[in-house]
Amino acid sequence: METKSNEKIDEIVKIANHFGVKTKYLTKGKLGDLTGSRPHQNVVLKASRLEYLNIKKISDIVDLQDETSKDSESGKFYLFLDGVTDPQNFGSILRSAMFFGIDGVIVNKKNACGLTSAVSKVSSGALEFLPIYSVKFVKNFMEEAEKAPNNFKIISTNISEEESDLNDLPFDENRNSED
C-alpha cells in the first residue's frame, strides 16, 4: 500500500518503534472501523483495558512506617469519590484532580463509573497517569485511615444542615510550595 508522508505521523511511528510498539499503515476506512467511526486523527493505538487497582486498606497504597509521610509538607493528598457514575463527570474530576496535584483517586467499588474510553477522553489523559484505586468496604477503609499514624484528615461533603467553615479546617498552606 502506498502511503503519503506526513511529518507528524512519521514522528509518532518513530517514537512507537523506539519503544517496541508494532506499527502498521491502514486506510482511513479501516481506522474508522477500529474506532467505531469515532474521530481518530489518522492514528489509532490498540491498548489493554484499564482497571481499578483494588485495595483493602490505606496501607496498601501508603507506607505507614515511612517517617517522611508524617511530615505535612511531604504528605499525600488522595481524593475519595462515592457515587460518581457518569463518565463525563468522572473524567472531569480526574482532569481537575491531576491539575491540582492529587496523588491518587480512591473510589467506592460498589458505586463507581467504569474506566471507559469516554472517561479517558474527558479526563484529557489524566486517567492514564493518576493511580486510581477501588475499595469494597468503605467504612473499614476510612476507620483504618483515621487511626493510621500518618495523621490522615478526612474532609467530606455534608448532607446535614449543619454548616462548617472551610477556614476552620487544618490545611497546610505550604503543601505545594517550592523552597
Question: What tens-digit pLDDT sequence spans the chain (179 residues)?
Answer: 455 668 999 999 999 999 999 999 999 999 999 988 888 888 988 888 899 999 998 888 887 655 444 444 457 889 999 989 999 999 999 999 999 999 999 999 998 999 998 999 999 999 999 999 999 998 888 888 888 777 677 777 655 556 666 566 555 555 444 44
The model's pTM? 0.71
- Within a domain: 161: no
| Residues 144 and 69 occupy one common structural domain | yes
Residue 115 belongs to domain with CATH number? 3.40.1280.10
Phi then psi for residue 34, to 5 deg, are -65, -35
**HEC profile of 137-157:** CHHHHHHHHHHCCCCCCCCCC
Question: Which residue range(s) make up the domain with 33?
Answer: 7-46
SS3 107: strand
What's at 157, amino acid-wise? T
Considering its fold, how many domains does the chain have in total? 2
Amino acid at 10: D
The reply to whether 166 falls in a domain is no
Residue 160 lies in a domain: no
